[in-house]
Amino acid sequence: MKIVIDMNLSPQWVEVLNAAGYKSLHWSDIGAPNAPDKEILLWARSKGFVVFTHDLDFGAILAATGADSPSVIQLRTQNVSPKHLGELVVSAFKQFEELLHQGALVSIDEKRARARILPFSSQP
């Protein structure tokens, strides 16, 4: 799995995710630091990457557009440091790997991780 890490997360996540066997890049190495979220989503979709972010706007964009890709993993906690959440995040990537290949939004907080299949439907 290939992962692009959003600007709002530390580049230290690259090391953590690469050590877990994933190919990961930080957006700062490939795009403008002030790129809009839509640009990052389009890039990730065209290159086959999952977006890893702390920004809830990505989920809103997926919902508003009815998109079925790219997959997004969003952190929903205040402390987003790799030292604090590294094991939990890697565990979630492994747990939801198949869904992420198909198209999903995965939300992670300190207590649990959950996934929604893309595209979102109007049904609960």
> Tens digit of pLDDT for each residue in 14-67?
999 999 999 999 999 999 999 999 999 999 999 999 999 999 999 999 999 999
Residue with tokens 């508003």: 64
Q: Residue 117's beta-bridge partner residues?
A: 104
Kindly report the pTM of this predicted structure.
0.95
Domains and CATH numbers, the chain: 2-117 (3.40.50)
Residue with tokens 């530390």: 10
- Percent helix, strand and coil across the chain, each to the nearest 5: 40, 20, 35
